[in-house]
Structure 1
Amino acid sequence: MTPRPIDLNRVVALLFSIGSALFVLGSVPAYLNAVGQAADSVTYFVGSIFFTSASLAQLVQVQSPAMTEVDAESQYRRAPVRFRAWLPHDRNWLAAVAQFPGTIFFNISTFAALLHNVTAEQQDRRVWRPDFYGSTLFLVASLFAILALGRLFTFRPRSFPWWIAWLNMVGSILFMASAIASFVLHSSDDLISDPVSVGGTLLGALCFLLGAILMLPAWKRAVRAAEKPLKT
């Protein structure tokens, strides 16, 4: 497989954008009322597939130097990618390798949510647990992504990578809040907090969507920065 670096980055951004948009859509109460619970659950499941595809593509991207260490010319040259790597000292790789299994847990939870007539205990085991595990891994991935920029608490409002990393962190925190609020109380078969569950997913997905959109201008700026040493 020999993609062009700029094309692979576009694919990652597009897949994350679609996945996030579907989670946003599925969280809108008006959409649920219009299409029904079954179609809404399918929307989440399809969105999770886009998340997983994007995460896998991003993992391949970050562990392939030919896909990231590019300038204005080399971003259009086809180059081989690495499907396997062990880069424990690379925080960007650690972020990607933590995020990928997190998306798989979301595949499991959203698929299990398609099932009907399950008890509260089954709901918590099949849906809530994978959702909680996925949210935890997203938090870990977001932390590594921020640490890859340098210090944990820095303020760089002119940096696209800084905005992307923190948007993903806020999105991960909101997803975790949603996961916790989605626990089904066995005594009443009610969620801990339905508004927090829905709102956390909606706002978290919006953060992920904004972060995905910023990947395109971030790429352009990084390519321009790579050209500067050549001109001096």
Structure 2
Amino acid sequence: MISLFRHRDTTGVHVAGPWPFVTFRSYRLGRRRVFWRARQHRKGLMRRARALENAPTPFWQSRRYNWYVGAIFAAGSFLFMLGSALSLLPPSLGIAAGLINVVFFLGSIPFTTAAYLQHFQAANASEFTLSPGAPEAGRSISFIGWHPRSAGWLSTFTQFVGTIAFNVNTFDGILAPTRWYVQDVAIWLPDMVGSILFLVSAYLAFIETAGAYWRWKPRDLAWQIVFVNLVGCVAFMIAAIVTYVPSGPDPAWTGIMGNAQLFLGASCFFIGAWLTMRESETAAP
């Protein structure tokens, strides 16, 4: 499937991407063809393709920075896998629910940390220019930024806010209230908000990488990362939906279904994090 728009702009640059986002540009720089891809640009990957092999590399686009982002995501994913696996064990083993909820809360902290580190990259991604590597006069560090026309910035921002919602959700779960409607407001609602934001974030990352609303590219490492993360977010969304606390007796299958989906989603995130660590090798040292 091709991109939803493709044209040559007034400067002669070939532009493509899923409307309204530009995720690909191509142009000639001297005797070489430059290929600008949005995900690679914000993360500092494959700099030679953008004629940046001799330009200074900011620390947030270095190989080590990208590797740590993946490693921290992997730590959070592992703790969510552990929490959901413990939740699926029979009650006869005597594993305290409070301990499991602490594991989930501890897992939400690396998620938030890695999500912000990733958003910091998007907030400080330089503007597209036909002179790659040219110094930007007066440029300062941005901690949040405002780039609503960038699919990557929107993706990382919604993900970061979603992780904060999971912080609230998992923290409130440590000392869960007894009344069903309080549980829905304090625990289920933040979980639902976080899951929705994760799903939005994952799809934005997918179209940024695929260059279209849908594209099948299973041999491409970046596509593998965003696809497996999208599957994980769908699983988290299902888990949030089925764990709504009703006013009456809670069907036994909902807890099993919810925790199984949580384990599936966290496993997908763990794979995506591991692939991100591999992808970091394409950044500058």
Preserved contact between residue 181 and residue 192 of structure 1 (Cα < 8 Å): no
Residue 87 of structure 1: which of 138, 147, 152 is its match? 147
- 1:101-144 per-residue CA deviation (whole Å, 9 max, x = no partner) reads 10000000101111145211111111000000000000100111
Preserved contact between residue 31 and residue 40 of structure 1 (Cα < 8 Å): no
Percent of paired sites with the same residue: 33
| Distance in 2, Cα, partners of 1:129 & 1:41 | 16
After TM superposition, list the pairs within 5 Å mapping 1:99-138 onto structure 2: 99-138=159-198
In angstroms, what is the RMSD of aligned CA positions? 2.2
Preserved contact between residue 52 and residue 100 of structure 1 (Cα < 8 Å): yes
Residue 103 of structure 2: which of 43, 56, 71 is its match? 43
Residue 9 of structure 1: which of 58, 66, 70 is its match? 66
| Distance in 1, Cα, partners of 2:237 & 2:245 | 15
Preserved contact between residue 80 and residue 262 of structure 2 (Cα < 8 Å): yes
Please report how far the alpha carbon of residue 30 of structure 1 lies from its aligned counterpart in structure 2 after TM superposition: 3.7
Residue 199 of structure 2: which of 135, 139, 144 is its match? 139
Please report how far the alpha carbon of residue 12 of structure 1 lies from its aligned counterpart in structure 2 after TM superposition: 0.8
Matching residue's letter, 1:48: S
Matching residue's letter, 1:160: L
> Corresponding residue for 1:229?
none
Please report how far the alpha carbon of residue 31 of structure 1 lies from its aligned counterpart in structure 2 after TM superposition: 9.4
> Corresponding residue for 2:137?
none
Report which of the two has the higher share of helix.
1
Matching residue's letter, 1:146: F
Number of equivalenced pairs = 210
Unpaired segments of 5 or more residues in structure 1?
67-79, 225-232
Please report how far the alpha carbon of residue 8 of structure 1 lies from its aligned counterpart in structure 2 after TM superposition: 1.5
Matching residue's letter, 2:258: S
Please report how far the alpha carbon of residue 192 of structure 1 lies from its aligned counterpart in structure 2 after TM superposition: 7.0
Matching residue's letter, 1:43: V
> Corresponding residue for 1:60?
120
| Distance in 2, Cα, partners of 1:107 & 1:139 | 17
Please report how far the alpha carbon of residue 65 of structure 1 lies from its aligned counterpart in structure 2 after TM superposition: 3.1
**Does 2:77 align with 1:20?**
yes
Preserved contact between residue 169 and residue 187 of structure 2 (Cα < 8 Å): yes
Residue 249 of structure 2: which of 170, 188, 193 is its match? 188
Preserved contact between residue 207 and residue 214 of structure 2 (Cα < 8 Å): no
Unpaired segments of 5 or more residues in structure 2?
1-57, 127-139
**TM-score (structure 2 length as normaliser):** 0.69
Preserved contact between residue 120 and residue 189 of structure 1 (Cα < 8 Å): no
**Does 2:220 align with 1:163?**
no
**TM-score (structure 1 length as normaliser):** 0.83
